[in-house]
Structure 1
């Protein structure tokens, strides 16, 4: 009995990995949907990513404060409530036909996800014997990968619906066009209402769920600030590398449907299926295979090899078409899969008392996912070619390459 006392709590914690993975991977479906509904440019549509990832930057430190003051369980419940609230706000957003309202709803969802991700990872490793902690965490994270595969496939069939083709729409009067697009925009109401309701049920379960509280070790060393932590050269490099990596990942994944319809000439639903079955599975298996290869190749060397391949594939994505273009971008998903955890682990190596602060700084650097996709959108709009926009991921992967070659090296801090 005691052996299985954490089984149900572990199942509930693992469900969180799936839920935030699912909602994150609906964003690539929302982008083309909202672009058509509101007649947006690629730059304007990419603000979906900005609304999501700026929340991670804004909420990173407050999330830590909430956990420290009120505990991890309270943090999970608060995060779930924000998640549900943001989902329900999609209903008035669709009713008012205001794009900024959609962005606000996504921002609130992402604030909730920031808190959930801060709490769920330590809990997944805590609920059971220490010797199997790594296995439990990887098992839970695998459901995040499962969500990345399923969300685009399911989302496309619920959200990417349109009663008339673009050609038919162009022949309608302005008022008729508005009615059609308003109807299409409303297709998000039901899925997000269901999602919010499920999240509320999970929140209620957590209220009554008995969870062990995580106790923080008090530091006995001197208090350190951000500038003290950034004196570690490899940490500073890691913050920069992670900023560019996350920016590249969001550019590749979130703008894939727009890219595939132009470069390969397939429909949005076909592109969404490919995003799930192709990109999602490539990313999942890339991480599994990359983790296995690290038994034989050092993490920094594998990072260099994968970064070089991603630079080359980004170049291919810019200038090829059809299946070659699709395979190029799928290859990027496979080879970039190890980059986030590898940059993270190399960045916090040998930080001592600065480890917690260093971890927070690297997490905050995912704000690159808010800043770089609009840059790719701007280039795509200016050149009228989303493929040229792949110059942004190419440069990002080059920065990761530099980190793998030299930036990761630990140089002992010299005291004056």
Structure 2
């Protein structure tokens, strides 16, 4: 413990200890890192808008539209470990800037993609964005917890993570008004078109997909410039024992983690959680359109905003509970509440069907 309190760096008003934590939180740097969190939320939620648009214009089935999320999370899967290696060899700041650059490249690829109007080109742009986001999440998640005193690391992480749903909502709002616009129900509109008319109208709709990425591009460039000009703490642990200064390699680390039961259970839980979350949100708009064919694409996307708002307040509530209760207690309480809610919904739907039968 005493070794971890050894000051290894002192500059710009903060002191860094051997364990990588600081004596105080540099507010501007923390805000700058935290503002990156909603940026990957916006990109993720825009995928749900794009899926709806691509399905109609390219005449795809649900399995084919799922390639949007495959390209997106495929980037995460392939780049997360290389991103961690970059952090180890370079710095958190370098990794964050690398992520922003890839994100910028991906957004810029929507310029040619919206005019070339091929599904493959759009998938390439989405993959490039995902590569950038993989760098950003891998670096920012840890960095946010590190830039400040150790005892407040979880609080800093929770504050930063709470901004992700806000980014999700911004992404949906951008897609709702800039991509869906005042078209109404795109599937219904294009079902009456054929041949050259349908192709021309589809290309026009695809050009609208560029609009939200223009605004995101401006924000990304601004943050990249500010980050490049801002001194950032290293926040990387330093070994004070020269004989044990060598760090384990990737293979050795993976072998250690493979034997860690809690880590493997955590990975499994995260796998199912992210899979379920992605599946539900990817098909929410289409579910709304299927249940009520009279509503527009824009109106259907409003349900996404409601769900992200619920996620945001849920994060706040969970953070509040975690102050006084253990993680296991919170999980059991929330699962019990969720089970009661599902049972209530099931009972209500059965009651509603009985009423419909009486009306008939």
TM-score category, normalised to shorter length: 0.7 to 0.9
Instruction: Report the 3-state secondary structure (helix = DSSP H, G, I; strand = E; otherwise coil) of the residue aligned with 2:232.
Output: coil
Q: Which residue of 2 aligns with 1:123?
A: 143
- State the match for 2:91 in structure 1: 71
8 A contact 1:21–1:144 mirrored in 2:
yes
Quick check: 2:158–2:319 contact (8 Å CA) kept in 1?
A: no
Q: Measured at CA, do residues 130 and 110 of structure 1 come closer, stay the same or move farther in structure 2, by a change above 3 Å? A: same
- Indicate how the Cα distance of structure 1 residues 87 and 212 shifts in structure 2: closer, same or farther if over 3 A, else same: same
Deviations 1:330-385 (A, max 9, x none): xxxxxxxxxxxxxxxxxxxxxxxxxxxxxxxxxxxxxxxxxxxxxxxxxxxxxxxx
Displacement of 1:47: 1.4
Instruction: Note closer, same or farther for the CA distance 1:86–1:267 as it changes in structure 2 (3 Å cut).
Output: same
Cα distance in structure 2, aligned partners of 1:154 and 1:93: 18
Pick closer, same or farther for the CA change 1:285–1:51 going to 2, 3 Å. same
8 Å CA contact 2:25, 2:149 repeated in 1: no
Matches of 2:56 and 2:321, distance apart in 1: 43
CA RMSD, aligned part only? 3.0
- Which has the higher mean CA deviation after the structures are superposed, 98-107 or 283-292? 283-292
Pair 192,135 (structure 1): closer, same or farther in 2 beyond 3 Å: same
State TM-score, norm by structure 2.
0.79
| Count of residues in Structure 1 that have an aligned counterpart in Structure 2 | 321
Structure 2 equivalent of residue 61 of structure 1: 81
| 1:203 lines up with 2:224 in the alignment | yes
TM-score under structure 1 length normalisation: 0.69
1:127-276 map, 5 Å: 127-161=147-181, 163=183, 166-218=187-239, 223=248, 224-265=252-293, 266-276=295-305
SS in 1 for 2:234: coil
Cα distance in 1 between the residues matched to 2:281 and 2:222? 30
Report the Cα distance in structure 1 between the residues aligned to 2:246 and 2:189, rounded to whole angstroms.
69
Aligned residue among 299, 302, 308 for 1:280:
308
Aligned counterparts of 1:257 and 1:274: Cα–Cα separation in 2: 7
2:45 corresponds to: 25
- CA 1:102–1:319 in structure 2 vs 1: closer, same or farther (change >3 Å)? farther
Matches of 1:145 and 1:267, distance apart in 2 = 24
Rg larger for = 2
User: How far apart are 1:168 and its partner, in Å?
Assistant: 4.5
Partner of 1:354: none
Contact 2:25 2:147 in 1 (8 A): no
Q: Structure 1 residue aligned with 2:132, among 112, 123, 128?
A: 112
Instruction: Give the gaps of 5 or more residues in structure 2.
Output: 1-11, 15-23, 353-360
- 1:319 deviation in Å? 11
Distance 1:114 1:81 in 2: 12
